[in-house]
Amino acid sequence: MKIWLVDAFTDTPFKGNPAGVLLIKDFPKDEECQKIAAEINLPITVFMIPLAPNHYHIRWFSPTVEMELCGHGTLAAAHILFQEGYDPGEEINFDSLSGPLSVRGEESGIILNFPLYKVEGLPFSIQTLKDLLDLKSVTHACVSHDAVLAELSNEDELRTLTLDPKKVMKLDQNGVILTAQGKPPYDFVSRVFGPRKGINEDPVTGSAHCLLADYWQKKMIKDEFLAYQASPRGGEIGIKVVGDRVYLKGQALTIMEGTWKA
């Protein structure tokens, strides 16, 4: 199996979110896919098989679980398909656990056509976040799509905080998404923590921005954003909301390529 390592949502090596990408004829058994992802040990390993011209079945595995949706993994996969000339056209279609997805290539980047996740808004205790995670400037918190979504009023706190994964796991949710209004040129910034899925902090999370797009659209009353995920690696995401879809724009670059021999 040919394998590529790609940094997604960045144009700079060692930034953005790394992913392993494998283009294969048939999916191995689920347990073998999981073992391969654990061996590669990146936030996501992507497996994809061709179904027809410009049409693939895509799956995403963290080191511990299969994911229902992954933005940076899809961006990395599309980058390889375009780069290696597997798809000469401008659009690629994917079948996935989250339904049909499409990707379009442009000179300025790759655009993902993803579902918009509506914020469910089930309330979550702000005091719990302050006490357990030592978050000082939380102004809003809710549970949505199996994650705690919390807004901070202090962008500097968001950028500099360190969360203990063991304490995050005590929240009994699959992840924590923290966000704050950004300083120009960014509309908002975020950080994402998912130790229950084998990712203590995700460097740049496309799927989280399917939710953040809805949150900030309602708050800012606009449809287009430039966002920054302020992890230690960091990455930039262009966002446009259209109906029940969100378009996520980013860049990617190949770091390494080789052959999986196991």
Q: Percentage of the chain surpassing pLDDT 70?
A: 100
Q: pLDDT tens digits for 203-253? A: 999 999 999 999 999 999 999 999 999 999 999 999 999 999 999 999 999
Q: Which two tokens stand for residue 126?
A: 């702000």
Q: pLDDT tens digits for 71-80? A: 999 999 999 9
Read off the DSSP letter of residue 240: E
Beta bridge partners of 114: 246
* Rounded Cα gap, residues 252 and 51, in angstroms: 24
Q: Quick one: CA torsion of 12, 41, 67, 255, rounded to 10 degrees?
A: 30
Split at pLDDT 50, 70, 90, the class of 37 is: very high
Number of other CB atoms surrounding residue 10 within 10 Å:
23
Beta bridge partners of 224: 240
Would you call 147 helix, strand, or coil by DSSP?
strand
Q: Structural domains in the chain?
A: 2-116+248-259 (3.10.310.10), 122-242 (3.10.310.10)
Consecutive H or E run containing 218: helix 206-220
- What integer pLDDT is reported at residue 260 of this predicted model? 87
Q: Which two tokens stand for residue 196?
A: 């229950």
Q: Which two tokens stand for residue 72?
A: 């940076």
Beta-carbon contacts of 52 under 8 Å, excluding residues fewer than 6 positions away, are none
Q: Using omega within 30 degrees of 0 as the cis cutoff, is the peptide bond preceding 100 cis?
A: no
**Mean pLDDT value across residues 62-82:** 96
Split at pLDDT 50, 70, 90, the class of 86 is: confident
* Rounded Cα gap, residues 262 and 245, in angstroms: 39
Q: Which two tokens stand for residue 38?
A: 């654990």
* Rounded Cα gap, residues 163 and 110, in angstroms: 31
- Statement: residue 87 has pLDDT above 80: no
* Rounded Cα gap, residues 234 and 143, in angstroms: 25
**Mean pLDDT across the chain:** 95
Beta-carbon contacts of 214 under 8 Å, excluding residues fewer than 6 positions away, are 116, 117, 118, 119, 241, 246
Read off the DSSP letter of residue 117: -
Q: Where are the beta strands (DSSP E) in the chain?
A: 2-8, 17-23, 44-52, 55-61, 66-67, 91-95, 101-106, 109-115, 122-123, 138-144, 147-152, 176-181, 188-194, 199-202, 224-229, 235-242, 245-250, 252-259
pTM: 0.95
Q: pLDDT tens digits for 102-153? A: 999 998 899 999 999 999 878 999 999 999 999 999 999 999 999 999 999 9
Split at pLDDT 50, 70, 90, the class of 1 is: confident
